[in-house]
Amino acid sequence: MNGPSLSDLLHLNNLSIANHLNKNTMKLGAFSISLSVKDIHKSKAFYENLGFTYKGGNIEQNWVVLKNETAVIGLFQGMFDDNIITFNPGWDGDAQNIEEFDDVRVIQNHLKTLGINLTAEADEKTTGPAHITLTDPDGNNILIDQHR
C-alpha cells in the first residue's frame, strides 16, 4: 500500500476543519496589546514603573515589548494610529513555540463561516507566517499574527 491519496488527504483536512468549526473554539495563541504611543521613551519608563520589564524589540526603531507576569504589551511609536489587540497563534506568552495551535488560515476560514468581516486576509495557498486583521463591533482593531 502506498498510503493515502491526495483526495483522501484533502478530505481528512476538510474533516479536520469541520471538526474544528463544530467545536466553535479557536486557539489564538499569545495575547498582547499593541499600543500606539507618542513618546516611546516616556511610555517605556511609565510601564516599567508599573512593573513591566523589557522583553524584546528595538527602541531605536520605535518599538519595544514589555512583560509583567503574563501581561504583555507592545509599545509602537509612529507605526499605526490606534491600539491593536494582538494574538499570535503558535506562541505562548514568552514567544516560545507551542506544539498544538490553530493555523491562522484555519482561524480565517472559521471566522468567515461565522460571517465575520476581515479587513486583511492570509493567502490560503501558503503555509507558515501570515496574518489577518478584523475590527470588533466597537471599532477595536484585532491582529492575528502567526510568526511560524
- In total, the chain counts a number of residues equal to 148
Average pLDDT, rounded, for the chain: 88
Characterize 43-54 residue by residue with b for buried, 16 or more Cβ atoms within 10 angstroms of its Cβ, and e for exposed: bbeebeeeebee
* Mean pLDDT, residues 71-90 taken together: 96
Residue 78 has what pLDDT?
A: 97
CA distance 27 to 107: 8
**11-49 pLDDT per residue, tens:** 445 445 545 445 568 899 999 999 999 999 999 999 999
pLDDT, position 23: 56
pLDDT, one tens digit per residue, over 120-139 is 999 999 999 999 999 999 99
C-alpha cell read off for 117? 468581516
Residue 96: is its pLDDT beyond 50? yes
Q: Which three cell numbers stand for residue 78?
A: 509612529
pLDDT at 95: 87
Q: Which residue has the cell 476560514?
A: 109
Residue 94 has pLDDT above 90, yes or no: no
Q: What sign does the CA torsion over 130, 93, 67, 35 have? A: positive
* Cα gap 129→117, rounded to integer Å: 21
Domains and CATH numbers, the chain: 28-146 (3.10.180.10)
